[in-house]
């Protein structure tokens, strides 16, 4: 099912897609959860609307409840297959319907605090760099607890900013020092889960066979690297906060309530 407004069909080149599935194991129906009077997905859409580099955006969902909710809000939404293994595949399904799109930004649907400047940084960069297929954001780690948190994905980059490897473990390993002293021995980066792709790259990586590293770490980008794709990493000082657990929801709700009150 495709429901993007016809007026946009031939009018835009850079599109943001927000994958939003209903079946979260820890927080079922997560996109519809209420945060200080608005749904989670509504708050994400409102942040994406503020980005200046995006020609248009839509939500990509697998559930009629999310679909109807987003339509009622007045945003474009596409119903996609329910069995996609990741948001990347959901984005690729949407993209396949719009040949005029040249670049796609994959926006995490559970980050209502995402800064529009992060979207613009990534979108502008990939559009300006000829030959670049995939770009993402990284943030310097300044909290030692993040090094040991497997939910914080770490990344090591080469001198040009290209990703060499992503891991849930702390990388690089600092020999001869306890982990609580590692931050004083070098620079560590965490991955900010925002991607920009050329349309050609997104449709291509959807067809790649998964690499064992992806299965082991549960990180899809490892299959992209293993198949020869470069992932350019841009460092940002801006941060966001995803909602994966009840604790995350309480924290983000408190932050939003403080801002809006």
Domain positions in the chain are 6-132+191-260
pLDDT value at position 125?
Answer: 95
Are the C-beta atoms of residues 229 and 205 closer than 8 Å to each other? Answer: yes
Contact 157, 233 (CB under 8 A): yes
What are 228's two structure tokens?
């020869």
Candidates 201, 200, 235, 229; CA nearest to 214 is 229
Q: How far is CA 115 from CA 47, 173, 201, in A?
A: 7, 31, 25
At a CB cut-off of 8 Å and minimum separation 6, what does 169 contact?
150, 154
State in words which class domain 6-132+191-260 has.
alpha beta
What's the pLDDT at 239? 86
Question: DSSP string spanning the chain?
Answer: -----GGGTTT-SEEEEEEE-S--SSSTTGGG-EETTEEHHHHHHHHHHT-SS-SEEEEEES-HHHHHHHHHHT--EEE--S--SSHHHHHHHHHTT-TT--EEEE--TT-TT--HHHHHHHHHHHHHSTT--EEEEEEE---HHHHH-TTS-EEEE-TTSBEEEEESS-SS--TTS-GGGGGGTS--EEEEEEEEEEHHHHHHHTTSPPPHHHHHHT-THHHHHHTT--EEEEE-S-------SHHHHHHHHHHHHHHH-
pLDDT digit string (tens) for the chain, length 261 residues: 344 444 444 445 899 999 999 988 788 999 999 999 999 999 999 999 999 999 999 999 999 999 999 999 999 999 999 999 999 999 999 998 888 899 999 999 999 999 999 999 999 999 999 889 999 999 999 999 999 999 899 999 999 999 999 999 999 999 999 999 999 999 999 999 899 999 999 999 999 999 999 999 999 999 999 999 999 999 999 988 889 889 999 999 999 999 988
The token pair at 56 is: 């248009």
What tokens appear for 83 in the block?
Answer: 């069995």
């Amino acid at each position: 099912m495709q429901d993007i407004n016809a007026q946009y069909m031939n009018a835009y080149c850079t599109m943001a897609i927000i994958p939003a599935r209903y079946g979260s194991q820890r927080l079922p129906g997560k996109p519809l959860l209420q945060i200080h009077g608005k749904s989670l997905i509504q708050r994400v859409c409102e942040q994406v609307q503020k980005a200046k580099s995006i020609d248009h955006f839509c939500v990509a969902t697998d559930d009629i409840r999310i679909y109807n909710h987003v339509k009622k809000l007045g945003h474009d939404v596409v119903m996609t297959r329910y069995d996609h293994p990741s948001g990347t595949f959901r984005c690729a399904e949407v993209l396949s319907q719009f040949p005029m799109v040249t670049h796609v930004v994959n926006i995490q649907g559970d980050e209502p605090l995402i800064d529009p400047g992060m979207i613009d940084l990534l979108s502008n960069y990939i559009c300006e760099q000829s030959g670049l297929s995939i770009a993402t954001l990284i943030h310097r780690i300044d909290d030692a607890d993040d090094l040991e948190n497997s939910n914080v994905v770490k990344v090591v980059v080469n001198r040009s900013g290209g990703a060499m490897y992503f891991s849930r473990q702390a990388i690089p390993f600092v020999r001869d020092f306890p982990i609580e002293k590692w931050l004083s021995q070098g620079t560590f980066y965490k991955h900010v889960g925002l991607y920009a792709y050329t349309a050609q790259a997104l449709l291509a990586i959807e067809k790649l066979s998964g690499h064992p590293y992806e299965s082991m770490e549960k990180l899809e980008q490892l299959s992209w690297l293993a198949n020869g794709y470069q992932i350019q990493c841009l460092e940002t000082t801006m941060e966001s906060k995803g909602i994966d657990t009840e604790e995350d929801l309480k924290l983000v709700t408190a932050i939003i309530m403080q801002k809006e009150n």
